[in-house]
Copies of this chain bind each other. A is one copy, B any other.
Amino acid sequence: MSYQPIGIFDSGVGGLTVLKEVSRILPSENIIYLGDTARVPYGIRSAETVTRYSFECTEFLLRQDIKLLIVACNTVSAISLKEIREKVSIPVIGVIEPGARAAVNSTKNRRIGIIGTEATIKSSAYLKAIKALDKDIEVFGLPCPLFVPLVEEGWTDGIIARLVVEKYLKDMMYRGVDTLVLGCTHYPLLKGVIQDVMNKVCLVDSAIETAKVVRDILEEQRAKSKEQRAGDQGRLKFYVTDSTEKFVNVGERFLGKRIDDIEKINLGR
């Protein structure tokens, strides 16, 4: 089992920040990434449609004989994680619960901010996950619609990023949160600017927290891939449902390395 790959899917390119962290702390794992780029973004679709799409992604990855599934998509994690877990026999990790747990562990003044896409904030998924752990914590959600296009353009430092981050997060500062959850898989690329602007606040990077949970589960199940030789790197394989070109261009910035082994597939009808 240990040599089986880990499967990760997202509606697009964002989940690559999760892949990056998993690959960093578990470098010898083989990982298969599926980006359903033909149908991105999921956040604007009905719960029924999101569930159907996520089943199609899950089934595709199960056919690749994965040992663990990471749902690196906030929308799916919020809407259909439970239904996916009921359908499959391998461990399924979403991105919301690990981030929520890390935020609860981090906060001292019990005031947590959540930033994400409009769909994620509207779903109250982080709010519910945090309240389930500690109902007395105050949670402030804020959608930041310009962050995703900023990141996709690669404008993650410089004056424009700085001003946009300041404009959105002014309100969070007034609210006195001591912990801020980056509740969108694109946002870790803006971490530097966000930390500069909110320099006394603890940033929770859901990608890192998700990767830690994956490591713990694989250790517990003794399912970690073993290095053949010290320093051996696992294989990274990518599938997308729309053109590979844009995914590679934007994705290499997310991943910080080359994307070589990529293939276009069809999902659904």
> Interface stretch among A60-68, A148-156, A199-207?
A148-156
Is A173 interfacial (CB-CB < 8 Å)?
A: no
Which A residues from 123 to 179 make CB contacts under 8 A with B?
145-146, 149-150, 152-153, 155, 159-160, 163-164, 167
Q: How many of these chains are in the complex?
A: 2
Query: In the assembled complex, how far is the CB of residue A253 from the closest CB belonging to chain B, in whole angstroms?
Result: 15
Residue A88 interfacial (CB < 8 Å)? no
- Asked whether A160 lies within 8 Å of B167 as measured between CB atoms, the reply is yes
Supplied contacts A146-B146, A146-B149, A160-B164, 4 more A-B pairs, CB within 8 Å: A40-B44, A146-B150, A149-B149, A160-B167
A257 to chain B minimum Cβ distance, whole angstroms, is 24
Residues of B close to A160: CB separation below 8 A: 160, 163-164, 167
Contacts of A159 in B (CB 8 A): 163
Taking a contact as CB atoms closer than 8 A, the residue among B40, B152, B164, B167 that contacts A145 in the complex is: B152
Q: Chain B residues near A150 (CB, 8 Å)?
A: 146
Q: Which 5 A-B pairs have the closest CB atoms?
A: A145-B149, A146-B149, A160-B163, A149-B149, A160-B164
Q: Which residue of B lies closest to A147 (CB)?
A: B149
